Amino acid sequence: MSTVERAAPARAAAHPATRRRLRDREWVWGYAMIAPLVLGLGVFYLWPVVQSVYYSFTEWTLFGDSSWVGLSNYEKLFTDAAYGKALRNTFLYGGLSLLGIPISIAVAALLNTKGLKLVSFYRTLYFLPVVTMPTAVAMIWTWLYNGDYGLINYALSLVGIEGTSWIANPSTALYALVLVGVWTQIGYNAVIFMAGLQSIPSHLYEAASIDGAGRVRQFFKVTLPLLSPSVFFVSVLSVINGLQMFDLVYLMFRKGNPAREDTQTVVSLFFSRAFEEGAKGYAAAMAVVLMLITLLLTVVQFRMQKRWVHYA
Amino acid sequence: MRSGRLWPVHLLLAVGAAAMVMPFFWQVLTSLKTFTEATRTPPVWIPSFEWSNFAKVLAEGPFLQQFGNTVVMTVGRTLAQLLFCSLAAYAFARLRFPGRNVIFIALLSVLMVPGQLFLIPQYQIVQGLGWLNTLPGLIAPGMFSAFGTFMMRQFFMTLPAEVEEAARLDGANPLRIFWSVMLPLARPGLLALGVLTVLWSWNDLMWPLIVNTDPEQMPLSAGLSALQGEHMTEYPVLMAGSLMASAPIIVVFIVMQKQLIQGIAFTGSK
Amino acid sequence: MTGKTWALVCAGALVAGLAGCSSSGGGDSDGKVTLTYAYWDEKNQGAAMKKIIEEFTRTHPSIEVKLQFTPNKEYWTKLQTAAAGGSAPDVFWMNGPRIGLYASQGALMPISDQIAQDKVDMGKFPKSLVDLYTIDGKQYGIPKDFDTIGLWYNKALFDAAKVAYPDASWTWDDVRAAAKKLTDPGKGVYGIGAMAWPQEVYYNTIFQAGGYVVSDDKKKSGYDDPATIEGLKFWKEFLDQKLSPSIQQMTDNDPIEMFKSGKLAMWYDGSYDAPQYAKTEGLAADVAPLPAGPKGKATVIHGLANVVYAKTKHPKEAWEFLKFLGSEQANKIQAESGAVIPAYEGLQETWVKSMPNVHLQAFIDQLPDAKPYPVSKNTAGWSAAETDAITKAFSDGQDVETVAKQFAATMNAALSQEK
């Protein structure tokens, strides 16, 4: 995943065009070397976008015939209660998953403590959920959340709290999902924050400490502002990932789960409409709208970054 | 600061790490229990080492076949990405040809589009080729990556121009320079991209669910999902299956940790 | 496989925006034909399927049959996408809720002519099942098996609570009384499992209460009918009185597993799950006919059929195989495995004897009271919403009547769109 910002190639400085003799055939080599990639991305990614947009104006029968229906798929989106619910769930999920960012910053700051030993050991442990297969993650947490035999409810019972069937209870299911999402993201985000922290020049801390700032004050006055580009990057990423939520929802909330409609995301709804119910045209319209939402949110985030992101 | 005063930091980190690792601990423990033990309260802490849970996973589904599929899929996608992305990235970074920037930006626009927009046509292409329920169908779209190209291009641009200048004066063509001069220098970048791709590919779920519904042709991620469909709430078996499916990638991570962390840190830096 | 060249041509064509590439696979060069046969129950029926194919290939050496197993949850998704792409299996399992759609969309090969030509006696199969797979006067499938629902009970729990075993004379009141006595919160034992499953659970009581799911003319939902609602309330009472685990609990822990591990004393389930219960170690289970409701006895009957894909490349061989699947010989193999009640006349006895430790006869005895599984032309158009609605209705704090009536409106709208 990347951001718009990186799309603008800042190549003036790095490009050694000056002394190079322009060869007649350089362009042939250039085209030849990009050809496989351009063909692959063109066939499997770029052209499909065009096709999908076209499909969003068509209707498909169950077995694959399609016909032009104009805007009716988009009209249907406005009246589809399941889609409205999925939008709400998706935004709620995306928003709540931002709560993982402060935890990740704390972990990164702790790991970045000068003179700390065992850093890579800790990092490995925090990173384990990131590399674990989502299918496995879903199974493990489904079991932990079990209302009768789950470890979580057992732990709660020790302190006198009676738990619930966390992922079958419509009022807790989405939050249970957010917790799993955050758990899988902490290690990843912490690594990005550690890189951000390490790029903060130490003389700034020295200056702050001469001014009499304690460690907490230093954190808020020096660390956080200088970390803001990383925070920005991670929050854009979190929101985009949140909008894309699929694996865990698909695996943890199967058919017959009473909390299913309270946890379906736009992408899981897209999946069942397109590939389980065969409504590919309607699903394509959902995907197009999701793209517009993603673009809009990204633009908003970039607009807002001017207010709080400090580029050193 | 003296390390003696670091114990509060250690304490905080250890508590956090315990919370991160606890689910895995519980997974391993449950995988060794009988169903009765798993559903006992208070929980059983010393399991009866019910290895038959693992045997059941191996016996009931084509687990080994799926393991093989996952390896082929992961290796195929990774090698292809390393080759195609670095080849194009070098051209974008160092060669001059008309339309270079326009093409590059057009390719990068792929990164801005949610994956669902590709899925339906990708499915049709694979179906049109007769590749549903085959390994080529599983691998094909994942062989190309705009992200990988961008990453490798950035990497090539950090390399000094002098090294290739010598080869150029010797009359070597760009492909040769790429292959024998630049690629060896790009090893760290290739490793980072490689580990990221391996990780993504091994764990990928949605594409396999769509194109390979035949258990014999599924990778582990989708196979495990099917196992859950069959065994519903037979938790010891499910834990054994999930452990076996995710263990290989965890081992890869522990071995290649440095490259992976570098790759991720790179994506976070500007 | 037609090779890489073809793939590249196709890829090129797609770039140019041309559609319509399909590979032209087919028979092998040595004249041997390979058929694919898809099914969804490996656990109970995989062994019988393999044996049937073994028998078939012995008498038909020029035909090879490849079994393709897909778990039930993914089966229809896969079949549908494959059918859309022209690459569905040659022969596959079909059920009542889907037959209308698949037949009307032209995905299945009509077999009436072949039946007449080869003089296949359809009278050997239960009429309700033959009718189920006849759409607009054409036959599309040969019945494979049938199933009814029974009251499974845990003998040990009944003995411990000193409750007499259920028998054919039981009514709803007997179930209510027994559930109360059998429930033991201290041990985590519940009298009965009131799961929101249609076929196994609430369809049966809807019929026993005199209600209906879809009207005979397939135009109206029965969910606003007072009798139908009474059939649903029967279950809701158990949930409200905590004589059944909650829907949430049974989502966390599959009720089938709960019954097997002695957490449920009574459990309505189909004949198809008999092997699981008869063979679970440490479980002393038996089965009785479903108790009668206010309007008498009833059980849901449903049966699968084998069908041929309309676009199969080997219609002749596929028909040969289908005919064999419908033969007495193949049905006998099914009967002996105990997995399902074979559809072929006279073979039910073999099935009943396959698991002597449980009274499977209870499933056969209910045949005179059996009601066909409710379907319309596009059952899938409302069945998912039905599961969601009734799951909700059975959840804590919900009123069955309100939710059912709301769903009736949804279902009526879906039915009105069927042509």
- E-state strands within C229-330: 264-270, 285-288, 299-301, 305-308
State the average pLDDT over residues A63-78. Answer: 86
Domains and CATH numbers, chain B: 50-268 (1.10.3720.10)
What's the whole-number average pLDDT of chain B?
90
Regarding whether A249 and A182 lie in a shared domain, the answer is yes
* Among candidate residues C357, C326, C355, C325, the one with its CA nearest the CA of residue C338: C355
* Residue A32: band (very low, low, confident or very high) from pLDDT cuts 50, 70, 90: very high
* Residue C275: band (very low, low, confident or very high) from pLDDT cuts 50, 70, 90: confident
pLDDT of C13 > 60? The answer is: no
Regarding whether A283 and A193 lie in a shared domain, the answer is yes
State the average pLDDT over residues A28-54. Answer: 95
pLDDT of A108 > 70? The answer is: yes
Residue of A30, A44, A233 with shortest CB distance to B100: A30
Rounded CA-CA distance C408/C385 in Å is 10
Exposure of C138 in the CB half-sphere (CA atoms within 13 A): 15
Single-letter amino acid code for the residue at B55? A
Number of domains in chain A: 2
Rg (CA), chain B: 23
Q: What pLDDT score was predicted for residue B268?
A: 64
Q: What pLDDT score was predicted for residue A8?
A: 38
Single-letter amino acid code for the residue at C399? D
Regarding whether A132 and A36 lie in a shared domain, the answer is no
Instruction: Judge contact between C371 and C302, C-beta under 8 A.
Output: no
pLDDT of C10 > 70? The answer is: no
Instruction: Report yes or no: B106 at the A interface, CB cutoff 8 Å.
Output: yes
**Between residues 143 and 162 of chain A, which touch chain B (CB distance below 8 Å)?**
143-144, 146, 148-149, 151, 154
CA distance C186 to chain B (A): 12
Q: Is residue A64 part of a domain?
A: no
State the average pLDDT over residues C274-288. Answer: 91
Rg (CA), chain C: 23
pLDDT of A9 > 50? The answer is: no
Least confident of B42-46, B217-221, B232-236, C105-109: B232-236
Burial class (CB in 10 A: 0-12, 13-18, 19+), C385: middle
Residue of B30, B101, B175 with shortest CB distance to A33: B175
What would the pLDDT profile of A78-99 be if each residue is shown by its tens digit?
Answer: 888 889 999 999 999 999 999 9
State the average pLDDT over residues B215-244. Answer: 88
Instruction: Report yes or no: B5 at the A interface, CB cutoff 8 Å.
Output: no
Q: What pLDDT score was predicted for residue B269?
A: 58
Regarding whether A129 and A47 lie in a shared domain, the answer is no
Least confident of A240-244, B228-232, C259-263: B228-232
Number of CB pairs < 8 Å for B and C? 71
Burial class (CB in 10 A: 0-12, 13-18, 19+), A36: middle
> Are C85 and B127 inside 8 Å of each other by CB?
yes
State the average pLDDT over residues B4-26. Answer: 92
Regarding whether A132 and A246 lie in a shared domain, the answer is yes
Helices then strands, counting H and E runs in chain B, come out as 16, 0
Q: What pLDDT score was predicted for residue B201?
A: 95
Regarding whether A165 and A36 lie in a shared domain, the answer is no
Q: What pLDDT score was predicted for residue A222?
A: 87
Regarding whether A191 and A101 lie in a shared domain, the answer is yes
* Residue C126: band (very low, low, confident or very high) from pLDDT cuts 50, 70, 90: confident
Q: What pLDDT score was predicted for residue C43?
A: 79
Cα separation values, B34 from A146, B48, B53, B242, Å? 17, 7, 8, 16
Regarding whether A278 and A200 lie in a shared domain, the answer is yes
Q: Is residue A229 part of a domain?
A: yes
Regarding whether A90 and A34 lie in a shared domain, the answer is no
* Residue C28: band (very low, low, confident or very high) from pLDDT cuts 50, 70, 90: very low
Q: What pLDDT score was predicted for residue C24?
A: 36
Identify the residue among B220, B246, B260 best suited for mutation to test binding to A, counting A beta carbons within 10 A and taking the highest: B246
pLDDT of A189 > 90? The answer is: yes
DSSP assignment, residue A222? I
Q: Is residue A217 part of a domain?
A: yes
ipTM of the complex: 0.92
Provide φ and ψ at C184, rounded to 5°. -135, 90
State the average pLDDT over residues B164-182. Answer: 87
Q: Is residue A4 part of a domain?
A: no
Q: Is residue A157 part of a domain?
A: yes
Supply the range of the domain harboring residue A235: 81-308
| Chain C residues lying within 8 Å of B35, measured CB to CB | 257, 261
Domains and CATH numbers, chain C: 32-147+303-346 (3.40.190.10), 149-301+370-416 (3.40.190.10)
More confidently predicted of C411 and B163: C411
Regarding whether A225 and A175 lie in a shared domain, the answer is yes
Residues with Cβ within 8 Å of C257's Cβ and at least 6 positions away in sequence, in order, are B35, B232, B233, B234
* Residue A2: band (very low, low, confident or very high) from pLDDT cuts 50, 70, 90: very low
What's the whole-number average pLDDT of chain A?
87
The CATH number linked to A249 is 1.10.3720.10
Rounded CA-CA distance A202/B88 in Å is 39
State the average pLDDT over residues A188-207. Answer: 89
Instruction: Report yes or no: B44 at the A interface, CB cutoff 8 Å.
Output: no
What's the whole-number average pLDDT of chain C?
88
pLDDT of A19 > 80? The answer is: no
Instruction: Report yes or no: C72 at the A interface, CB cutoff 8 Å.
Output: no
Regarding whether A182 and A38 lie in a shared domain, the answer is no
Q: What pLDDT score was predicted for residue B103?
A: 95
Three-state DSSP class for residue C292: strand
pLDDT of C19 > 80? The answer is: no
Q: Is residue A75 part of a domain?
A: no
CA distance A46 to chain C (A): 10
Percent of chain C with pLDDT over 90: 67
* Among candidate residues C145, C25, C90, C40, the one with its CA nearest the CA of residue C320: C90
Q: Enumerate neighbours of C (3 or more CB pairs within 8 A).
A: A, B
Q: What pLDDT score was predicted for residue A13?
A: 41
Count of CB atoms within 10 A of residue A247's CB? Answer: 23
Least confident of B213-217, C70-74, C206-210, C323-327: C70-74
Rounded CA-CA distance C291/B267 in Å is 65
Identify the residue among A39, A146, A276 best suited for mutation to test binding to C, counting C beta carbons within 10 A and taking the highest: A276
Regarding whether A268 and A146 lie in a shared domain, the answer is yes
Highest mean pLDDT range out of A8-22, B103-117, B220-234, C294-308?
Answer: C294-308
Buried b / exposed e over C15-27, threshold 16 CB at 10 Å, is: eeeeeebebeeee
* Among candidate residues C50, C37, C57, the one with its CA nearest the CA of residue C304: C37
Q: What pLDDT score was predicted for residue A16?
A: 47
Instruction: Report yes or no: C107 at the A interface, CB cutoff 8 Å.
Output: yes
Single-letter amino acid code for the residue at C354? S
Q: Is residue A125 part of a domain?
A: yes
Percent of chain A with pLDDT over 70: 91
pLDDT of A3 > 60? The answer is: no
